[in-house]
């Protein structure tokens, strides 16, 4: 009898740990389910979201980059580029909502963005629209995962703060936290009329004295225009 009691007592920590583990997994599962069902309701029932997506700008300017300085070695090669990256407001191209300075190896610089391309059914105006999230900047000889962050992952980009302004903060958080996870779910993409969620990397050979203006098309293509710096 004593042996059974001692055996039960010594097994209690494992039983408690098992119960705690099961509880934690259950809470995680419930959280994932709620997040998934919440974004499902947003896309299928929320007229405010559909109206907001209709207001996405066609081929709008989304920012620009300019060289501050470049380091040249004894053989005349550019070994490093210091650049300023600026993101502009949707409604005012002169309004800076993000401004950062980066020091990148070499002179060929990659600008990485995530794109969500919507079909013409989810958008009330009946036109294809796209939104984006600037992700990171890195040089030619730098691994992408070692690049410099531009926007914080899963956070609401400043550029779209007013776009989704009519939605409650909780719904906006759900949207930005879950939208990128839909990329590998073909059924939900079709259901929500999202044609694609993908990465777009644009790279340019930067030169001092030029301004590199980035634009996004309704189909989600990010491309630079080059003009003399002013």
In this predicted model, what pLDDT tens digit does every residue of 202-219 receive, in sequence order? 999 999 999 999 988 777
Q: How far apart are the first and last CA of the chain?
A: 90
Nearest-CA neighbor of 146 among 177, 105, 186?
Answer: 105
- Which of 59, 68, 64, 103 has its CA nearest to residue 212? 64
Nearest of 30, 29, 40 to residue 187 by alpha carbon: 40
Tokens 């300023």 belong to which residue? 84
Q: Spell out the residues 6+ positions from residue 111 whose beta carbon is closer than 8 angstroms to its own.
A: 65, 85, 134, 137, 201, 202, 203, 204, 214, 222, 224
- Token pair in block for residue 59: 């081929």
Amino acid 112: pLDDT:
93
- The total of other beta-carbon atoms located within 10 Å of residue 15's CB is 10
Q: pTM of the predicted model, to two decimals?
A: 0.73
Q: Do 64 and 39 have their domain in common?
A: no
pLDDT at residue number 65: 96
pLDDT beneath 50, residues of the chain:
2, 5-6, 8-9, 12, 17-35
Tokens encoding 105: 């190896």
Classify residue 81 by burial, with Cβ atoms within 10 Å: 0-12, 13-18, 19+. buried
**CA distances (Å), origin 142, targets 55, 66, 82, 124, 135:** 36, 20, 15, 42, 15
Same domain, residue pair 166 and 147: yes
Distance CA 47, CA 33 (A): 22
User: What's the DSSP call for residue 159?
Assistant: G
What pLDDT is stored for residue 139 in this prediction?
A: 95
Distances (CA, A) of 212 to 43, 78, 83: 35, 18, 11
- Report the distance separating Cα 47 and Cα 55, nearest Å: 13
pLDDT at 176: 84
172 and 204 housed in the same domain = yes
Q: Do 17 and 81 lie in a common domain? A: no
Verify that 55 and 39 share a domain, yes or no. no
Residues 9 and 105 in one domain: no
Q: Are residues 17 and 31 in the same domain?
A: yes
Q: Residues 13-61: pLDDT tens digits?
A: 555 544 444 443 333 333 433 445 777 777 766 677 777 777 675 557 8
Same domain (yes/no): 151, 217: yes
Q: Which domain, by its residues, includes 41? A: 2-45
68, 153: one domain = yes
Contacts of 24 (CB under 8 A, 6+ apart): none
Asked if residue 112 lies in contact with residue 106, where contact means CB atoms within 8 angstroms, the answer is no
Q: How many domains does the chain have?
A: 2
């Amino acid at each position: 009898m004593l042996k059974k009691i001692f055996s039960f007592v010594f097994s209690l920590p494992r039983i408690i740990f098992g119960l705690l583990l099961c509880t934690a997994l259950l809470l995680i599962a419930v959280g994932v389910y709620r997040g998934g069902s919440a974004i499902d309701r947003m896309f299928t029932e929320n007229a405010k979201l559909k109206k907001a997506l209709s207001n996405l700008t066609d081929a709008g300017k989304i920012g620009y980059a300019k060289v501050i300085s470049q380091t040249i070695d004894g053989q005349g090669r550019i070994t490093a580029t210091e650049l300023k990256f600026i993101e502009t407001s949707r409604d005012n191209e002169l309004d800076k909502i993000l401004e950062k300075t980066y020091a990148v190896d070499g002179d060929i610089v990659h600008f990485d963005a995530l794109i969500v391309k919507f079909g013409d059914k989810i958008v009330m105006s009946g036109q294809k629209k796209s939104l984006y999230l600037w992700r990171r900047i890195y040089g030619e000889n730098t691994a992408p995962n070692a690049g410099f962050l531009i926007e914080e992952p899963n956070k609401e980009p400043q550029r779209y703060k007013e776009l989704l302004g009519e939605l409650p903060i909780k719904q906006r958080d759900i949207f930005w936290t879950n939208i990128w996870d839909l990329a590998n779910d073909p059924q939900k993409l079709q259901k929500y009329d999202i044609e694609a969620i993908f990465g777009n990397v644009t790279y340019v050979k930067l030169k001092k004295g030029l301004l590199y203006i980035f634009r996004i098309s309704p189909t989600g293509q990010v491309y630079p225009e080059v003009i003399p710096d002013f």
